[in-house]
């Protein structure tokens, strides 16, 4: 048993630190700190993505045959932790984390050759079209339909909760290609060009006033059959791959621990109940970090993920929500500011009371409520844990 | 011991409830601060006069009246300056005949007063900063408590006032106010009246919170009965039932402490309000968060009253230092 | 709206206070404070019962036609609160609170004439025979059977969780008199003399080491038909009456608030986390007191109980458990004593470390776990609340 | 980074597990302190020697060995004096050849040592009180840390010792010890060794807690799968499933902090143990309480391991000031 890094891992960490010190500009750092949503806004994200791509580390979690740097799970974790501690922007995951792995795993050579470079260069900005109104987390009841006409599908339907769709020019979507078979069998996975007639994006404002979510209406949208990933009817299993990949993909604790440390700086020393809440959150977050690390170490040594890996999204949601609530309280009345302007690091923002960190606190608190809802509610997580870990 | 409202009190409650029901429903609740027309209409109904002390020309309504009116406002998730404009500022003015014009306009809903803390007075002129003065952007005058505790009235017409708007989480507009040798009229509200003002303002806020809690629970119960997941109404899941039952216990426990705070004798009221805030400050937010969670994705949008209600509850539950400050006060 | 007591109520309270000051001896008070279980032990209980009976206040919650003092709900509450604050023993409720009201409501004149005086004089000590192994809170699955033979029933079965049955000479029990009809229809309510062949009491030791609970085995026990309360098959509705009577009957908050105040005396001033926990418990308990009082005031003014009355057992369980856990922590290592001897106020007890209150803390903590289990688990309470208060 | 046990460590774990599995099951777990025969048998297996430093003739087993052995003891809900007798007292003796006889007997399980705090030394004799000395009733000698921090060894044969038994909540027997000019042999354990002793004793206790937590969860899951209520297995109720899932998250989070405390470098270990105790101290008791609740009436009796396990967890989780003291230390 050993928690220390090898010499190689240590020098890798130094390399990452040096890179971040040199490349992560104060503007990027500030943009990241004052981001109220899940992902960096496009101006920040685009710049950081280009820097990472230049360094060869953008697709650090892709295998080398797909163009990744060939890092081990521990190296990826070191990189993520260093990025979190340095306060790097969080890049949108729809392309890099979701459709990217789908493409290099299930895509044809032609699809890979066309889409992967454009994903990396940010020429394509991807959105995820899975959820539909009324279906909640229940993908089997999908109603968007794709009818084959020659070498095209004609797609009509209504997607919802589509993160950053207002910036996207590509949508990957689950659609029903066969209504006759068992619900899960009739689903296919399509890549849809959003710059065409019939695609309408309608914003859903969050309670915070942030515009992160959208509805996407598809009205007889034409999709070449060559933009179907996998076979017809294979959509369900591709989606499963994608969701498991999303879940197992990254660690939550490093960002939480880094944000908690930053709060102590931005809000000053916490006392009384606030100090107690901060301490308890840190205990939970340190435990979570090790819970995540245990799984990574096991994977590094070739084991299959333990059911314990199912607990991290649930725990991270709760710790994150506790952290953002603490931030609001730590800033007192100033934590209750909520300007209507966006982004918080932008030039249109009114002068903050106390500090920009105070100004963004309420928006972050409100947006953090979504952690326990999207990507499988906390209730669904508990049911999954009971089943997988305890056989209930 | 008696929990029944007097006929007059019941009438006031029904009147306010009807007034608000005509204006607020699940699509309009908490969308923004109450319009000045509606505010004026409430003044014309005599609501503010009811809550003002008799020496200010009001009807001297007490804690119970504050509770029932505030609870109705909370139930409608109405965003108004009642606690500070009427209960705080109104009482600050009450002893001064010289400012009678303001008192009358306040009661009619014609003028809006905001309460600010900060600054110091030199030669009858106020200078200094007051950050995040609630409703400070639209206020016609400020009641200011200076750093040494003097009470003053400052008209916004005075050229020595600069205001920078600060939007708050419920959508209401506060201001950072800079006083620069602004003409300030001393107020002489006796300490007991001023203490009562703070107590009643505190009571108003916890009553609004309890009203908001009951609405958020109602909205949630309605929602889970209608919506389906995995082919069943959400309300049929045992976990959801138990969570709603738990929210109900929070609501009833909160209501109990609110009722006690409104009903105890005057001497015990300040402590009872602090006790209630120590519990309700945390519990209201917890309930609002649960309400959002049980609404799923829709809960975190600006579309439904529940997401906007969370914002209002966040603000109200944190005012006056929220539960944390109240517990500190009780522990001291 | 008014929370103050009337002049009459105030002088009533003075009368109760004067009585308690005069009659509640230091020994009784000490016995009550060092009781680890739910009810006072028989030596304490018997003495206090005699004093109350002499005063005419033993059956203070019975209506005057049944021999009670004719108090209003608020008077009863005042009496209970004063008793709690004075630290009076808690009398076993099986006779006074449970079977007593059943007898004066459903009993024949002969049953009332025979049983009620003996209940009051403590000649009869009652135990409650409702629960059976495996049935949990589910009375419909009752298996104890009573077969009619002439003017007797022959009763056989197995009761469990029978509080203080080791002291009892009478058992009121639900038995199945008819196996043919719908489960709830075939149940009758019998009064059983325990001093006869076929009745065996077997102790169930609590985790604390206390002997409060028992199993009662009934093996062809003879019960005169004249000791059946109500008609054959009426047992279910009598049981419902009894349980509702138990639930609505008394207030939990006064005892909790009094014990919390006593803890500050016995454990010294609490600081840090302990002070915070104490304060939060007090807030909950003060709220509960008012929640209970609201229902009492409504009943006093003639209204039917609100569904909110269903919340008090759940809340009281949690506050009580929090309080007893706080006590353990407040005494530090001394709070972890758990002598095997009983009772804690008895002469056989080893010398306590710190104080007798510290010595009893762990036992009280362990026994308090039962609050959320017996008399309807907290889970069942939540289901009832969801149904009755919210229509779920 | 590597989570695998060495072959030797795995062998030790399996040996202890087998030893305990032969002696403890759900009907015997936590019924009382481990018999002295079993304790001696553990000594004969070399377990205590493994945990003693090399200068005391032991094998110098470190934090990982402490963790795996203690976790197995916890899993069996075995009630032993391992943390204090072997890890604390053993290290206190380690530097003194003159007390070598005690060290050997300790390692063989032949002698029991208890750790006491209190008293002062005058002319080589100890006088004073030490309350609630764990395992003090059966101890053959005491390691005493006096009020000024001196370490001493006191043989119970000395006539200057009086012991009054104090039964603790897990059924183990502590003692109030009065030293009355008892002959005391000074011990010279270096500060670093003594600090390590405390850290490892703390690690042992949290490892026992994590072992106990896993058993209590296992017992609960088994129970709810077997038992029925309202005609369904308890395990089929969604509320019950979610509560068990929640217990599982507590267990895994606790295990994570335990593993970290055992695996970090020596310099960071004391803080890591405190961090783990700050979390596990509260979480273990919460889990044990949930386990009891989900067992219903049977949970609060002395019949099942779960009720007795709650007692053991209550004790262990409160030792060394429990979570409260640990959080204070971290906040300082």
The answer to whether the CB of D84 falls within 8 A of the CB of D201 is yes
pLDDT-derived band at C243, boundaries 50, 70, 90 = confident
C-alpha distances out from residue A228 to A119, A185, A191, B94, Å: 17, 15, 6, 75
With a cut of 80, say whether residue A247 has pLDDT above it.
no
Q: How far is D165 from chain A (nearest CA, A)?
A: 37
What does the pLDDT look like over A197-216, one tens digit per residue?
A: 999 999 999 999 999 999 99
- Taking the C-alpha atoms of residue B218 and residue A368, their distance in angstroms, rounded to an integer, is 24
Span D183-193, average pLDDT: 95
| Domain covering B191-331, topology | Butyryl-CoA Dehydrogenase, subunit A; domain 3 (1.20.140)
pLDDT at A248 over 60: no
Which candidate from B168, B289, B302 shows the least CB-CB separation from A336?
A: B168
Task: Give B-chain residues touching D237 at CB under 8 angstroms.
Answer: 238
Spatial contact of D63 and D176, defined as CB atoms under 8 Å apart: no
Higher confidence at residue C266 or residue C139?
Answer: C266
Place of tokens 């429990």: D322
pLDDT tens-digit profile of D100-144?
Answer: 799 999 999 999 999 999 999 999 999 999 999 999 999 999 999
**Bigger pLDDT: C67 or A134?**
C67
The CATH number of domain D7-108 is 1.10.540.10: yes
pLDDT of residue A68: 96
**pLDDT, chain B, mean:** 96
| Assessment of whether the complete model's pTM goes beyond 0.95 | yes
Report how far apart, in Å, the C-alpha atoms of C14 and of each of B23, C103, C250 are: 52, 32, 21
Nearest to C386 among B2, B242, B260 (CB): B242
Q: Give the closest residue to A331 by CA, choosing from A277, A255, A266, A281.
A: A266
DSSP letter (8 states) at residue D304: S
What is the average per-residue pLDDT within C58-64? 96
pLDDT of residue C136: 59
Question: For residue A207, what pLDDT is reported?
Answer: 97
Residue C387 banded pLDDT, cuts 50, 70, 90: very high
Whole-number pLDDT of residue A282 = 98
**What pLDDT does residue B90 have?**
95
Residues of A in contact with B301 (CB under 8 A): 204-207, 213
CATH number of C126-238: 2.40.110.10
Q: In this model, does residue A137 exceed pLDDT 70?
A: no
pLDDT above 80 (res A136): no
Taking alpha carbons only, the member of A161, A190, A151 closest to residue A173 is A190
Show me where the domains of chain A are located. 7-91, 126-238, 251-388
The pLDDT tens digits of the residues spanning A318-371 come to: 999 999 999 999 999 999 999 999 999 999 999 999 999 999 999 999 999 999
pLDDT of residue B99: 83
**What's residue B202's pLDDT?**
98
Cα–Cα–Cα angle for A282, A287, A290, rounded to 5 degrees: 130
Average pLDDT across chain D, whole number? 96
Which is the CATH superfamily of the domain at B113-186? Butyryl-CoA Dehydrogenase, subunit A, domain 2 (2.40.110.10)
Dihedral, CA atoms, C223, C227, C232, C238, nearest 10 degrees? -120
pLDDT at A18: 98
Split at pLDDT 50, 70, 90, the class of A140 is confident
The pair of structure tokens assigned to A35 is 């981001």
Residue C135: phi, psi to the nearest 5?
Answer: -90, -20
CB-based contacts of C49: which residues, under 8 Å, 6+ apart? Answer: C58, C91, C122
Quick check: D294 pLDDT over 70?
yes
Q: For residue D31, which phi and psi values (nearest 5 degrees)?
A: -75, -25
Number of H helices, E strands in chain B: 11, 10
Please report, for chain D, the start and end positions of each structural domain, with discontinuous segments joined by +: 7-108, 113-186, 191-331
Instruction: Please indicate whether, in this complex, the C-beta atoms of C273 and A276 are within 8 angstroms of each other.
Output: yes
Report the residue count for chain D: 332
Q: pLDDT > 90: what percent of chain B?
A: 95
Contact across the interface for C273 and A273, Cβ inside 8 Å: no
In the block, tokens 């976790």 appear at D71
By CB atoms closer than 10 A (0-12, 13-18, 19+), residue D101 is exposed
| Cα A101 to Cα A93: distance, rounded to the nearest angstrom | 11
pLDDT at B230: 79
pLDDT band at B229 (very low <50, low <70, confident <90, very high): confident
C-proximal residues of A, 263-282, CB under 8 Å: 273, 276
User: Hey, which residues of A are catalytic here?
Assistant: 246
Distance CA C313, CA C318 (A): 9
**How confident is the prediction for chain C on average, in pLDDT?**
95
What is the Cα–Cα distance from B239 to D32, expressed in whole angstroms? 38
| End-to-end Cα spacing for chain D | 31
What is the DSSP annotation of B246-315? HHHHHHHHHHHHHHHHHHS-HHHHHHHHHHHHHHHHHHHHHHHHHHHHHTGGGGGBSSSHHHHHHHHHHH
User: What pLDDT sits at residue C339?
Assistant: 97
Residues of C with a catalytic annotation lie at 246
Size of interface B-C (CB pairs under 8 A): 110
The pLDDT value given to residue C141: 83
Question: Tens of pLDDT along B8-64?
Answer: 999 999 999 999 999 999 999 999 999 999 999 999 999 999 999 998 899 999 999
User: Which residue of chain B has the CA closest to D242?
Assistant: B239
> What's the sign of the alpha-carbon dihedral D241, D243, D244, D249?
positive
C276 contacts in chain A (CB < 8 Å) = 273, 276
Distance from CA of C377 to the nearest CA of A (A): 21
Torsions phi, psi for B226 (to 5 deg): -85, -40
pLDDT of residue A249: 63
pLDDT tens-digit series, residues B246-270: 999 999 999 999 999 999 999 999 9
Q: Is C134's pLDDT higher than 80?
A: no
Residue C216's DSSP bridge partners are C159, C201
ipTM value for the complex = 0.97
Mean pLDDT of the B152-170 span:
95
What residue ranges in chain B does DSSP mark as E strands? 113-117, 120-122, 125-133, 141-145, 151-155, 161-167, 173-183, 185-186, 228-229, 232-233
Q: How far apart are CA A71 and CA D123, in angstroms?
A: 67
pLDDT in tens, D44-78: 999 999 999 998 899 999 999 999 999 999 999 99
pLDDT of residue A141: 83
Instruction: Give pLDDT, residue C250.
Output: 80
What's the CATH number for C251-388?
A: 1.20.140.10
pLDDT digits (tens, 9 = 90+) for B194-209: 999 999 999 999 999 9
Residue C53 CA to residue C56 CA, distance in Å, equals 5
């Amino acid at each position: 048993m050993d928690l220390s890094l090898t010499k190689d891992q240590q020098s890798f960490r130094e390399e990452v630190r040096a890179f971040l010190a040199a490349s992560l500009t104060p503007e990027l750092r500030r943009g990241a700190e004052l981001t109220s949503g899940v992902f960096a806004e496009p101006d920040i994200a685009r710049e950081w993505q280009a820097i990472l791509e230049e360094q060869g580390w953008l697709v650090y979690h892709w295998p080398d045959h797909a163009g990744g740097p060939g890092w081990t799970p521990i190296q990826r974790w070191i990189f993520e932790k260093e990025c979190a501690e340095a306060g790097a922007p969080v890049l949108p995951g729809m392309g890099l984390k979701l459709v990217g792995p789908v493409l290099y795993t299930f895509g044809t050579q032609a699809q890979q050759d066309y889409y992967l470079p454009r994903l990396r260069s940010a020429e394509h900005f991807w959105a995820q079209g899975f959820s539909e109104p009324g279906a909640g987390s229940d993908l089997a009841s999908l109603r968007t339909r794709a009818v084959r006409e020659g070498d095209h599908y004609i797609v009509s339907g209504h997607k919802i909760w589509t993160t950053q769709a207002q910036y996207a020019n590509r949508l990957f979507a689950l659609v029903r290609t066969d209504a006759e078979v068992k619900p899960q069998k009739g689903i296919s996975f399509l890549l849809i060009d959003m710059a065409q007639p019939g695609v309408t994006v309608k914003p859903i404002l969050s309670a915070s006033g942030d515009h992160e979510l959208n509805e996407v209406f598809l009205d007889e949208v034409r999709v070449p059959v060559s933009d179907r990933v996998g076979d017809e009817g294979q959509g369900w299993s591709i989606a499963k791959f994608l969701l498991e990949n999303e879940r197992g993909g990254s660690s939550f604790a490093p960002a939480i621990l880094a944000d908690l440390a930053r709060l102590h700086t931005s809000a000053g020393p916490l006392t009384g109940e606030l100090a107690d809440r901060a301490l308890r959150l840190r205990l939970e977050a340190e435990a979570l970090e090790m819970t995540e690390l245990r799984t990574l170490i096991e994977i590094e040594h070739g084991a299959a993920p333990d059911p314990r890996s199912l607990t991290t999204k649930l725990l991270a949601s709760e710790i994150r929500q506790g952290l953002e609530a603490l931030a609001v309280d730590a800033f007192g009345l100033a934590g209750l500011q909520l300007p209507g302007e966006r982004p918080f690091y932008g030039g249109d923002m009114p002068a903050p009371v106390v500090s920009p960190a105070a100004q963004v606190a309420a928006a972050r608190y409100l947006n953090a409520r979504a952690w326990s809802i999207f990507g499988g509610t906390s209730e669904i997580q508990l049911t999954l844990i009971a089943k997988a870990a305890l056989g209930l | 011991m008696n929990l029944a409202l007097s006929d007059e009190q019941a009438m006031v409650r029904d009147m306010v409830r009807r007034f608000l029901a005509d204006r607020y429903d699940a699509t309009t609740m908490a969308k923004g601060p109450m319009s000045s027309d509606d505010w004026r209409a409430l003044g014309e109904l005599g609501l503010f006069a009811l809550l003002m002390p008799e020496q200010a020309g009001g009807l001297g309504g007490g804690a119970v009246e504050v509770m029932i009116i505030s609870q109705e406002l909370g139930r409608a998730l109405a965003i108004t300056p009642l606690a500070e404009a009427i209960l705080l500022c109104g009482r600050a003015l009450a002893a001064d005949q010289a400012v009678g014009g303001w008192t009358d306009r306040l009661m009619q809903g014609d003028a809006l007063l905001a309460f600010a803390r900060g600054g110091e007075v030199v030669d009858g002129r106020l200078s200094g900063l007051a950050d995040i003065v609630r409703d400070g952007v639209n206020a016609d005058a400020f009641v200011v408590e200076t750093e040494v505790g003097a009470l003053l009235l400052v008209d916004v017409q005075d050229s020595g006032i600069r205001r920078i708007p600060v939007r708050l989480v419920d959508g209401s507009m506060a201001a950072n106010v800079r006083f620069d040798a602004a003409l300030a009229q001393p107020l002489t509200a006796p300490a007991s009246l001023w203490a009562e003002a703070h107590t009643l303002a505190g009571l108003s806020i916890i009553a609004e919170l309890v009203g908001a809690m009951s609405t958020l629970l109602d909205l949630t119960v309605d929602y889970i009965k209608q919506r389906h997941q995995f082919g069943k109404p959400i309300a049929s899941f045992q976990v959801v039932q138990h969570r709603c039952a738990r929210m109900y216990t929070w609501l009833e426990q909160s209501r109990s402490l609110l009722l006690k705070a409104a009903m105890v004798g005057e001497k015990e009221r300040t402590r009872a309000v602090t006790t209630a805030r120590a519990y309700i400050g945390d519990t209201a937010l917890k309930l609002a968060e649960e309400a959002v969670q049980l609404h799923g994705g829709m809960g975190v949008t600006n579309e439904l009253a529940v997401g906007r209600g969370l914002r209002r509850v966040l603000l109200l539950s944190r005012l006056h230092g929220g539960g944390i400050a109240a517990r500190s006060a009780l522990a001291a």
